[in-house]
Amino acid sequence: MTPEFVVAFAQEAIKVTILVAMPMLGLGLIVGLAVSIFMATTQIHEMTLTFVPKILAVLMGLLFFLSWMLQQLMDFTQNVITQIPMYIR
C-alpha cells in the first residue's frame, strides 16, 4: 500500500462519514436556531425547550434518511470488501 492509497482511502471514508452525518447535524442546527430565536423573542429560558425539539427533529430525520444512510454505508463497505485483493498488494 502506498501513501497515496492510504490518503485516498481516508479521504473517501471521511467523505462518506460527513455525507451520512450531514442530514442529522443540519436538522439539529436548523431546529436549534429556530428554538433559540423563539426563546430570544419570547424571553423564555427553559432548558428543556432547547433539547426536546432538537432530539425529536433528529429522530424524525433519522427515520426519513435511514434508508439512504444505510445505502451509502453499504456501498462504501461493499467497495472496501471487493477491493481487499488490491489492498494486499
Grid look-up 436549534 returns 32
Q: What is the pLDDT of residues 43-73, one digit of tens each?
A: 888 888 889 999 999 999 999 999 999 999 9
Residue 40, all three cell numbers: 430570544
Q: What is the pLDDT of residues 4-19, one digit of tens each?
A: 888 999 999 999 999 9
Q: What is the pLDDT of residues 29-49, one digit of tens each?
A: 999 999 999 998 998 888 888
Q: What is the DSSP string of the chain?
A: --HHHHHHHHHHHHHHHHHHHHHHHHHHHHHHHHHHHHHHHHT---THHHHHHHHHHHHHHHHHHHHHHHHHHHHHHHHHHHTHHHHH-
Q: Is the entire prediction scored with pTM above 0.75? A: yes
Grid look-up 492510504 returns 6
